[in-house]
């Protein structure tokens, strides 16, 4: 899983652990650096103390000496005193003249002795240039740093007398051992701290994201078409409270928009219904008007066939009036479903009777089991069956023999009615409109059949759906609970 795909709680957990690790590394680095600085400072001050002690002893010897205090007599003055001073202070040192030649060493000289007989020119030049007249040279050895200090010795009258060289080796073995032991203990402490940090980070990440998860679940469940509940969180942080407040404001705005949309849709539905009613009523009025106008022009009381013509005109008007009555009845039934007359029936028998009006060679019926008892309105259920079968037959092209299969089945909770045909299928472009009022693909009819039976099915808390294949046929499936 990449970092970009990590959840918020995982990121919080990861960053908190990373912070602890970085802090641990930083503390360890600062500790090592501090130990090194303290060690360097300790050795620097220790060398300065040794130099001060040596200079004090050298000045005392010079003061008590009977020899004239000058560079040429330093070898005589410190012939034996140099060893005494070295033993007293437990330190090795060398004396050079101002030209850098070795005068005397507190350490007996051996073959291949590393003590130089002549100081390099860069040391003499450095001593002559700096005001402190003291120069410390550092060299890296295998087990530590080797320091060698050089400083100008002055006679009692503050004139340069010679050069004092004090070799010093930085022995860090003790400090290194202490540092290693400290780092081991610190490592144990880091392991414990890491375990505590992991536990703490885990619970903190869950606690921080708990409120966000609640908001996320609410937002995921938010739907425009239903009543959405507001979020009430107690003890949330200021940021989470602002987020909750924004969500609740959004819910208020969404509900207001839904109400406005519902009102607008109702108004639009009534407008469309009014247009459809006017259109359907206008269709029979036109032939009625033409019939009356024709009758006015052609009316002749002396015509011997006048009674026959009046009779024909009357039949035409009555036929159109009946059409208008059917239109009014259809819209009335769609606008307000009649009260249900529920009764326990064998719906297998109900379906068989409903299919009696259709040719048996076209419609094939199958029920499993052969008896299915349910509480339904007989007339409404017959209307569902006949409407679906009639639509199935009408969907078959003229050059094809209609084959309609009706299957009735049940399970422990629902009853399923399935009507399939070998018709032309339903275009995807109009698939969402077939349950809308006034929509029809036929040259006649008002497009209220499927919407009406959909209303009936929904009163049973059922559902209607379909599966279609273009050019091969359609299967309608009606499901409703057993009562």
Q: Cα-atom radius of gyration of the chain, to the nearest Å? A: 56
Beta strands 160-169 and 145-154, pairing class: antiparallel
Q: Report which of residues 291 and 476 the model is more confident about.
A: 476
Give, for 9, the enclosing helix (H) or strand (E).
helix 8-64
Query: In terms of domains, do 317 and 360 share one?
Result: no
Query: In terms of domains, do 427 and 454 share one?
Result: yes
Q: Is 212 domain-assigned?
A: no
Instruction: Name the range with the highest mean pLDDT among 78-87, 111-120, 206-215, 232-241.
Output: 78-87
Q: Is 91 domain-assigned?
A: yes
Residue 219 has pLDDT above 80, yes or no: no
Query: In terms of domains, do 23 and 92 share one?
Result: yes
> Residue 67: CA atoms inside 13 Å, Cβ hemisphere, count?
14
Q: Is 253 domain-assigned?
A: yes
Query: In terms of domains, do 378 and 473 share one?
Result: yes
Domain boundary among 301, 335, 369: 335
Q: Is 227 domain-assigned?
A: no
Q: Report which of residues 362 and 11 the model is more confident about.
A: 362
Tell me the mean pLDDT in the region 116-127. Answer: 87
Q: Is 60 domain-assigned?
A: yes
Q: What is the CATH number of the domain that holds 430?
A: 3.30.565.10
The pair of structure tokens assigned to 10 is 């995982």
Which residues, at least 6 apart from 217, have a Cβ–Cβ distance to it below 8 Å? none
Helix, strand or coil for residue 118?
strand
For the stretch 333-345, pLDDT in tens is 555 555 667 888 8
Which residues, at least 6 apart from 251, have a Cβ–Cβ distance to it below 8 Å? 222, 228, 229, 230
Average pLDDT, the chain: 77
Query: In terms of domains, do 9 and 97 share one?
Result: yes
For the stretch 351-387, pLDDT in tens is 888 888 788 788 899 988 889 888 888 888 888 888 8
The residue range of the domain holding 170 is 3-176
Treating both helix axes as pointing N-terminal to C-terminal, what angle do 173-221 and 8-64 enclose, rounded to 10 degrees?
Answer: 160
Distance CA 286, CA 155 (A): 143
Distance CA 265, CA 315 (A): 41
Domain total for the chain?
A: 3
Q: What is the CATH number of the domain that holds 22?
A: 3.30.450.20
Q: Is 198 domain-assigned?
A: no
pLDDT at 201: 77
Distance CA 190, CA 188 (A): 5
Give, for 208, the enclosing helix (H) or strand (E).
helix 173-221
């Amino acid at each position: 899983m990449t970092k970009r795909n990590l959840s918020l709680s995982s990121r919080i957990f990861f960053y908190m652990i990373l912070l602890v690790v970085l802090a641990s590394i930083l503390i360890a680095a600062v500790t090592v650096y501090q130990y090194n600085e303290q060690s360097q400072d300790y050795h620097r001050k220790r060398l300065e103390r040794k130099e001060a002690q040596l200079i004090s002893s050298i000045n005392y010897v010079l003061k008590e000496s009977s020899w004239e205090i000058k560079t040429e007599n330093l070898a005589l003055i410190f012939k034996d005193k140099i060893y005494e001073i070295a033993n007293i202070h437990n330190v090795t040192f060398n004396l050079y003249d101002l030209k850098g030649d070795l005068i005397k060493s507190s350490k007996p000289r051996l073959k291949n002795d590393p003590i130089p007989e002549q100081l390099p020119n860069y040391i003499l030049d450095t001593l002559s240039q700096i005001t402190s007249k003291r120069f410390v040279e550092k060299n890296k050895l295998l087990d530590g740093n080797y320091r060698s200090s050089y400083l100008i010795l002055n006679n009692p009258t503050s004139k340069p007398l010679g050069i004092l060289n004090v070799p010093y080796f930085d022995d860090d073995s003790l400090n290194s051992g202490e540092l290693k032991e400290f780092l081991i203990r610190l490592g144990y402490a880091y392991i414990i701290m890491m375990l505590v940090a992991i536990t703490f980070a885990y619970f903190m990440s869950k606690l921080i994201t708990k409120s966000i998860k609640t908001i996320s679940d609410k937002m995921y469940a938010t739907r425009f078409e239903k009543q959405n509940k507001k979020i009430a969180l107690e003890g949330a942080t200021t940021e989470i409270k602002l987020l909750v407040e924004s969500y609740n404001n959004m819910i208020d705005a969404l509900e207001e928009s839904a109400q406005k949309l519902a009102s607008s849709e109702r108004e639009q539905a009534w407008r469309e219904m009014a247009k459809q009613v006017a259109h359907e009523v206008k269709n029979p009025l036109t032939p009625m008007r033409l019939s009356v106008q024709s009758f006015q022009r052609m009316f002749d009381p002396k015509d011997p066939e006048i009674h026959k013509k009046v009779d024909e005109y009357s039949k035409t008007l009555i036929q159109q009036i009946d059409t208008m009555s059917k239109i009014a009845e259809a819209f009335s039934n769609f606008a307000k479903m009649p009260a249900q007359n529920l009764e326990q029936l064998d719906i297998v028998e109900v379906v068989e009777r409903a299919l009696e009006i259709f040719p048996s060679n076209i419609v094939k019926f199958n029920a499993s089991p052969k008896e299915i008892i349910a509480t339904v309105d007989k007339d409404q259920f017959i209307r569902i069956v006949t409407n679906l079968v009639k639509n199935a037959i009408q969907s078959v092209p003229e050059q094809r023999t209609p084959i309609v299969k009706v299957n009735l089945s049940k399970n422990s909770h629902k009853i399923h009615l399935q009507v399939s045909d070998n018709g032309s299928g339903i275009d995807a472009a109009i698939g969402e409109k077939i349950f809308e009022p006034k929509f029809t693909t036929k040259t006649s009819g008002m497009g209220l059949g499927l919407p009406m039976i959909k209303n009936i099915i929904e009163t049973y808390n059922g559902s209607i759906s379909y599966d279609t294949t273009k050019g091969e046929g359609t299967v309608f499936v009606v499901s409703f609970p057993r009562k």
